[in-house]
A and B are shown apart, each in its own frame.
Chain A
Amino acid sequence: MPDAPPIQPSDIVSTIDDASVPITVKLRDLHKIYDSGANAVHAVRGLNVDIPEGQYISIMGASGSGKSTLLNVLGALDVPSKGTYHLAGKLTSKQTRDELAALRNEYIGFIFQNFNLLTRSTAVENVELPMVYAGVPTRKRRAAALAALDKVGLADRANHLPSEMSGGQQQRVAIARSLVNTPRVLLADEPTGNLDTHTSGEIMKILDELHTKDGLTIIIVTHDPGVAEFTERVIVLRDGRIIADQKTPRCGGPAVPDVRALSLSVPEN
């Protein structure tokens, strides 16, 4: 591919200042303690966050600050040790394992840094998988999976195994997989962490489109200020606490803080 012009965030179609938008994610005094025997790790310490529907938000922070922990709780993959998490008005701690599974299946899309594709299944089979658990009939499933792959520009790789694809391609398969059940919330844990700048740009473009065109709520964990600049709002964590929660420059906020610098500075609260 010849040198394309640097990919820029699209024009702001933001609801960030609209107070009437319903809250999708509501956290109150959220704690997560990993209790592995003698030494307990207090990974998240009392978060209070509201994320309105359709918001595009990034979570930043130094390594070990609790970003992944928070995202796993948001994705209903893990349960908080203390505090409440309401997703679309429902208290997740009240729900059974299988109700949470159904939530992950239908309401949430998850994208991982290391893709987490089934290595022995082809791209299209991977994309079909969420529909298998949603009980979609085989034929419909195949068509929808191919359409999703087409959407991320991988129609011609449908029958390839993950091992036969580049990292960027694998991540696009993962994005297609996260989208096939038309979720309302998309969670991405360092989706570009393993990719070069150009490929990152491609991935960010897809996410950006999902936000602007489909109005998805997107929560993205990143180290990269460049990635955070695509979003509307940035939350910065340090040692499991929020040290900054602000608009990004494109929505009129201050510059996205440099994570490495932050980890050295004294927390503000």
Chain B
Amino acid sequence: MFALWIECFKMGLRELWRHRLRSFLTMIGMIMGVSVVIICVSVVQGVKDSLIGDIRKAGKNMMFVFTEDTRKGIGTIGVQVNTNLSRDDAEAIELECDGVAMASGVQGTNVLVVSDTSTATVPVTGADHKYTAIRNWGIEQGRDLEPFDVIASRRVCLIGQTTMRELFGDRNAINRTVRIGRISLKIVGVLEPKGINPLGMDEDNALIVPLPIMLRDIMNRREPDAILCSAKSDDDVEFAVQQITQLLRQRHKLAEADKNDFRVSTLKEKEEQARTISNQMTLLMFFLALVSLMVGGVGIMNIMLVSVTERTREIGIRMAIGASTKAINRQFLIEAAVISTAGGTVGIVLGVSGAAYISSAIGVEPLMSPAIVGIAFLFSAGVGVIFGLLPARRAAGLNPIEALRHD
């Protein structure tokens, strides 16, 4: 019986080759479907992975606490910028929440920074000495901020790679000074390169100053807008968020019914978002591909029906010399499966090379799992079998005598 399978397969291949152009045209639907799935899935997954990698790179188990305006009816016209958070909150979070390893108040703004030779608008961040540790950001040259810098409001700063290049060109920036308004800051450290973040911003365009300097001297305000924290471990993030929420509600003396006057967000959330979006995209692609495979399948069914009609006499001859209905059925099923898997295989090859090309063009590593390739292959074979069922049944159901008499 195994011999019959092989024979059917050979007959299928031969028939395919005999009608090369027709087979190829029939296969296009399959080729498109399969290659599009592979390209989309691997590129989207690749983008997701690089996105998540970027998010992870942004900092270790990072959490942000932002102030949130809960008062109603008050516009944001006032000069005084209100914040519900304080440096004491940051300190309390670090001390009292055991899920939290470090916390630092942070305040950022874009200001004009002037060096001895040029000027640039730079996102300046005020933070304390734990900032680089929370962000998982190394110092390439010089030193980090120290507790004393913050306590004593020393006029020092750390500079990012891009900012350094803009302000100093190829010169070494260490121990040089930059000016923000009337304040001169000494550059004590150069940050390691960090690259572009998922939002497309250049992380290396940065200047880090002690928080008191930022608040008092640059922005003229009392407390920071945000607190940056890091959880002790990845698993602690959710727990830490809860603790922070509880602690801040207590410290801010919020009643049971009151809404939070702050918002805690985590990178894990962002990661989940990236994951959800890319999975949704993958699903969408999958459905599009499914439609395309269906169209391909209908094409195969159509051509197989034509083939059965064309070869009615051949079928009659085969039956006359003893082919069972099963054998005829199998012959046409396999033939349909051969067309569709041939299309699927071409689609896989196109898909894999297309994914590699597109990925390299947009600068991500394509995620090509053998599972996807295997599934695509099985799917295309399955499409052939499913859409071959009807034509094969029609062939097998022919009356031998009538089929023989057909011309």
Contacts and interface: CB of A to CB of B under 8 A. Distances in A.
Interface in B98-144: none
B321 A110 contact: yes
A116 B322 contact: no
Nearest to A105: B322
A134 B4 CA distance: 9
B104 to A, nearest CB: 78
B318 A129 contact: yes
Contacts of A75: 320
Contacts of B318: 118, 129, 133
Taking residues whose C-beta sits less than 8 angstroms from the other chain, chain A's interface range is: 20 to 34
Interface in B169-213: none
Nearest to A119: B314
Interface residues of B, number: 23
Contacts of A178: 321
B323 A135 contact: no
Nearest to A109: B321
* Max count, chain A CB within 10 A of own CB: residue among B1, B18, B322, B326: B322
Nearest to A138: B3
Given A104-B320, A104-B322, A132 B401 contact: no
B1 A177 contact: no
B1 A105 contact: no
Contacts of A78: 400-401
A117 B318 CA distance: 9
* Max count, chain A CB within 10 A of own CB: residue among B6, B320, B327: B320
Given A77-B320, A77-B401, A136-B3, A97 B325 contact: yes
A134 B7 CA distance: 12
A102 interface: yes
Contacts of A72: 401
Nearest to A75: B320
Interface in B311-364: 313-314, 316-327
Nearest to B399: A78
A98 interface: yes
B390 interface: no
B327 A133 contact: yes
B305 interface: no
B404 interface: yes
A35 to B, nearest CB: 13
| Interface of chain B, main secondary structure | helix
Nearest to B327: A133
Contacts of A135: 1, 3-4
A130 interface: yes
A16 interface: no
Contact of B321 (A105, A137, A138): A105
Nearest to A180: B321
A178 B317 CA distance: 12
Given A136-B3, A137-B3, A77 B321 contact: no
B108 to A, nearest CB: 77
Given A118-B314, A118-B317, A120-B18, A133 B404 contact: no
A190 interface: no
Contacts of B6: 138
A112 B1 CA distance: 28
A77 B399 CA distance: 8
A101 interface: yes
Interface in B52-77: none
A177 B321 contact: yes
B324 A116 contact: no
B4 A132 contact: yes
Contacts of B3: 132, 135-138
Interface string A105-117: 1100010100011
Interface in B363-407: 400-401, 404
Contacts of B320: 75, 77, 104, 110, 116
A244 B1 CA distance: 46
Given A77-B320, A120-B18, A129-B318, A101 B325 contact: yes
A118 B312 CA distance: 11
B1 to A, nearest CB: 6
A221 to B, nearest CB: 15
B328 to A, nearest CB: 9
Contacts of A112: 404
B308 to A, nearest CB: 15
Contacts of B325: 97-98, 101
14 contacts: A78-B401, A98-B326, A101-B323, A101-B324, A110-B320, A116-B313, A118-B317, A132-B4, A132-B7, A133-B323, A134-B322, A136-B3, A178-B321, A181-B322
Given A104-B322, A133-B327, 16 more contacts: A77-B400, A78-B401, A97-B324, A97-B325, A101-B323, A104-B321, A105-B322, A105-B323, A106-B322, A116-B404, A130-B322, A132-B7, A133-B4, A133-B321, A133-B322, A138-B6
